[in-house]
Structure 1
Amino acid sequence: MLKEGITYMHEHTTIDLSRLKKIDDTNLNCYDETVAEYKKMYSKGVRNIVDVTNLDMCRNPLYVQRVAKETGINIVQATGFYQEKFLPELVTTATIDQLAAFMINEIQVGIEETEIKAQIIGEIGTSQNQMTKREEKVFKASVIAQQATGVPITTHTTLGTFGHEQVGFFKDNQADLNKIVIGHVDLTGDVDYILHMLDQGVYVEFDTIGKENYQPDSLRIAMLKEIEKRGYSDKVFLSMDITRKSNLEYMGGMGYSYLLDTFIPQALEKGVSQDFITKMLEQNPHEFMNRK
């Protein structure tokens, strides 16, 4: 599934959340600028991007496929549904088994009317401090789809909340915890909260790197140091979750390469080991995505 090299585990090549956000900035549809940045990442050793844009985010699988072909980066595409505010009517009207069958079809046959097969389920999400009834349907369907296909699940936690409850849900529903990553955990700012999830056997993502309006990167680095110290270096991924035009370099934003050019040097300088960096960017994604 993944090529040898660096993997960003939680990104959006194109995404449109503007119908709710009400600003064009949240319609990431700048093809040429995205291609330029992906080529720049390729020159730095990035070979894979896990694109977690799903049905509720105005996904465009053929657009993503074009970007992959033009840049040489292997882009993994997803199936599934996001969180309450963005869930389509299908989640209301369909049964849990029907939602599971929808995802299984996209994994085994193709996304929408394409032959592009989804290789991950997600990002499936919970709302801030709660799982709504419709979100629960999505989670139950996702577990069924995982059990049927062996495909991993990636989640969204709103501002890092409800992560423990997500893990508890997966345990109660006999999901394979080795094929589940809990997203946005760096937004908790609480390393003990994250360590509790790691204790249960799931993976976690520090996937909002550079978004210092939520948490300073210095805190992310301090938490990573503690996680490494506690012996969980095999269970962590890194990414940036870029969703806005203003995040890109052409608009003066940090750009996708910030993770490699700025964050990693800072982490190394502050005591995160090169071995841990290599695991988070290369070895752990391969183990997670390629596990049978």
Structure 2
Amino acid sequence: MEIHELGDLELRPGRLTLWRANVPHPATWRADPRRPSRIQKEHLCWFGNGRPAWLGVAFEWSGEIDTKALSRAIFGWVYRHEALRCRFVKHGSTIHLATADRGVATLDLIELGDYADSGELTRIVEELFDTETNPLRSPAYLFVTIRRPGSTTAVLASDHSVTDAFSMASVPFEIKEFYAAAIQGAVPRLALAHSYLDYAVSKRARVTNLTDEHPAIGHWRELIAANGGELPDFPVPLDAVGGALQLTSRTWHFDAETARRSIERVVPNAEMP
């Protein structure tokens, strides 16, 4: 996986199609007593300054895609992850959660036309993602496909409230596994996916029960004290190119042995693979 800004991808021209999952009937949403995780709540309270906060992933298929099979694949992905079937409502600093069961979603397919210019196509896709990935509206994610003779590009954008970089990295594999299963009439070979909404509850409980005597607190206290009262810097200088705050694409900074020595300096006696 390589990390890019969308504008750096140079999306190849083709026919642009929007795929949007919906839970169309208000009665299918039910109030859920579970609370968002602390990082979700912080993100949701911060949202509203007009800046989109989506993450995206792009991947390729060879040849034409089967529309019915891809629809089944998207449904499979949505039903696999409970966080994709939730919505948040904000009342001041209070966040309320509602969830929907498997099987109640619909999928809108909207043909947006043929684009011959890569720059215009990228601009249209970015505008769609900026507009559609609202964490206080369901769904907070959106698929598009770009079809052309010989290949298809799929791009997913999702607000940070329901996905992160780790979960986005798994999307191409999961969608393609569901797609292959739909084509073959087989069962997807995917491990059980646990609910992030349940994880948020357990994480809140663990943090609530922390005291000064907890070993984790002691560990962080010792680490910060050993670094002069500050969190340690990354042990290898990265030297951001041109003063950039975030580097895109892929850059080699050090090899495995340098990484091993650096980690051992920060965490002595760490078990290394």
By the TM > 0.5 criterion, same fold?
no
Greater fraction strand: 2
Q: Which has the larger radius of gyration?
A: 2
With the length of structure 2 as denominator, give the TM-score of the two structures.
0.25
With the length of structure 1 as denominator, give the TM-score of the two structures.
0.23
**Greater relative CO (CA pairs within 8 A, separation 6+):** 2
